[in-house]
Amino acid sequence: MITFDNVSITYAGASEPTVSNLDFTVPEGELCLVVGRTGAGKSTVLRAVNGLVPHFTGGTLTGRVLVDGRDTAQFPPRELADVVGMVGQDPLAGFVADNVEEELAYSMESIGLPNAVMRKRVEETLDLLGLAELRDRPLATLSGGQQQRVAIGAALTAHPRVLVLDEPTSALDPGAAEEVLAALQRLVHDLGMTVLIAEHRLERVVQYADRVLWLPGGGEPAIVGEPGPVLAGSPVAPPVVRLATVAGWDTVPVSIRDARRVSAVRGTHTALNAVRGTLTASNAARGTLTSLLDASGVEVKYGKTRAVRGVDLRIGDGERVALMGRNGSGKSSLLWAVQGSGPRSGGTVDVRGQDPKTMKPAQRRELVGLVPQTPGDLLYLETVAAECAQADRESGMPSGSCRKILDDLVPGIDPQEHPKDLSEGQRLGLVLAITLTAVPPVLLLDEPTRGLDYPGKARLAATLKDLDAAVVLSTHDVEFVAEFADRVIVMAEGEVVADGPAAEVITSSPVFAPQMAKVFAPLPVLTVDQVAGALSA
């Protein structure tokens, strides 16, 4: 269905091709996963499928890309709209209409289908993706998962043979991600669609994949094949795949079910059970700590909605806390309220005897640092160097302090680079460095793992663990929590519903349990490193 015939793509002004000598075929009715590190060219490959690269972005494509027998050199994206459905990274940014029904109809209108056909297909799509109750809703009022399903539906109504999705579940909480993936699986199984997905959260999607395309980047040739074997050789791999390497299995499982089966056959489970006593979680809770941040009865109201309802939060010195819960459960509002820059309509916050809310913003950041969900919002100057210098001035630190922190976090960023052109991980690093320049004893991070690949996340976890500050971060990323946190707080409807040591809270939840906990239940294992440590002991 999709054929890349010795394809290399070079963007205008770039000295090296972004991807080179791509040679692969995706047969009809398969789900193919594109993996690779940030910047390896995943989006480029996806966008080449419907000709956005190079027709829209500019640049040079050598070789040939064929989709359903059509060469993208001859067919610009608009002429492929009825063959390839494209779903971009941020669904909201790609919406043209303003309510669900009209958005679903947009492609069909452009293609010029008769009204009767459009009516029928819109109804079918509403049912297929479970969107029927939302049909009149303005798109901006939908939740992330709903928006993603509308975006998929909008691509589907033109009846394409191929569906291409760029990180469809990155921004979603585990529940919403399940909804989207279930919908996708249905398309592949029931309708025989060919689906191409790029995704960082491999643990979520890899069990649905028939095939994996690994882009190693740096001029290395791409590797295509069965998910297990290909991922086993790649630095971006979900925990189950890494488990196979650690435990020395020769078959590489990609789903929890397979892993349990292999583990039973190969006796790994039994071996672990034997050394059960040594399975001290690397990040178990550490006794009593001196309280650093003490918040009680925190309330946040937006108009009539109560986003945070009387939350008590006590953070000890050097604690590493993960805040979890659905989108809209009040995590961000709580972080902002605690930092003092966001609204707080009730309750008290006390950090080292002071309430950050009553302080000036400049002093506040020396007490509590916050890295917001879109770190780029903090940046407004033209170069990295200028941002660093500004941060030094803001914090009253000797010049060069910020740059030094940045070099520890993410070495080798060109100081003259525009912050806009940095990669996701580099930008996060820069904002983290700016925030840390003020040396706050408490650091809050709102969804820091978005857009980071596995090595990026491992690095962030290591950095945060080394910090001389209490860290509270909100995230949907279960595996990251397993790596990083020693305490987990779960929020729902603005209230705290669970608070305790990470191992207890996340292993007992079916939604938040990391892969290792699922594979080795009921053993208290969270991470691959724990397994490796126990097995080698």
- Within 27-66, the residues that bind other proteins by CB under 8 A are 47, 50, 52, 54-56, 58-62
Is the peptide bond between 522 and the residue preceding it cis, with omega within 30 degrees of 0? yes
CA distance 413 to 407: 8
Q: Is 506 in the site for other proteins (CB under 8 A)?
A: no
Q: Give the one residue of 265, 274, 275, 362 binding other proteins; rule: CB under 8 A.
A: 362
Q: Is 378 in the site for other proteins (CB under 8 A)?
A: yes
Q: Give the one residue of 155, 195, 213, 293 binding other proteins; rule: CB under 8 A.
A: 155
Residues 66-85, interacting with other proteins (CB under 8 A): 73, 76-82, 84-85
**Which residues touch 91 (CB under 8 Å, ≥6 apart)?**
147, 148, 150, 151
CA distance 165 to 88: 6
DSSP string, 393-414: HHHT--TTHHHHHHHHHSTT--
Q: Is 370 in the site for other proteins (CB under 8 A)?
A: yes
Between 378 and 535, whose beta carbon lies closer to other proteins? 378
Task: Give me the amino acid identity at 477.
Answer: D
Residues 171-210, interacting with other proteins (CB under 8 A): none
CB 12 within 8 A of CB 58: yes
Q: Is 334 in the site for other proteins (CB under 8 A)?
A: no
CB 529 within 8 A of CB 536: no
Residues 417-446, interacting with other proteins (CB under 8 A): 420, 434-435, 438
Q: Give the one residue of 16, 27, 110, 261 binding other proteins; rule: CB under 8 A.
A: 110
Q: Is 106 in the site for other proteins (CB under 8 A)?
A: yes
Between 24 and 106, whose beta carbon lies closer to other proteins? 106
* Nearest-approach distance from CB 319 to other proteins, in angstroms: 21
**Which residues touch 225 (CB under 8 Å, ≥6 apart)?**
211, 212
CB 448 within 8 A of CB 460: yes
Between 104 and 525, whose beta carbon lies closer to other proteins? 104
Six-digit token pair at 331?
A: 């995590």
Binding span for other proteins by CB under 8 A among 107-115, 192-200, 228-236, 282-290: 107-115
Between 155 and 525, whose beta carbon lies closer to other proteins? 155
* Nearest-approach distance from CB 222 to other proteins, in angstroms: 20
Binding mask 210-249 for other proteins (x = CB under 8 A): ----------------------------------------
**Which residues touch 82 (CB under 8 Å, ≥6 apart)?**
107, 111, 158, 159, 160
**236-to-38, 379, 409 alpha-carbon distances in Å:** 10, 29, 20
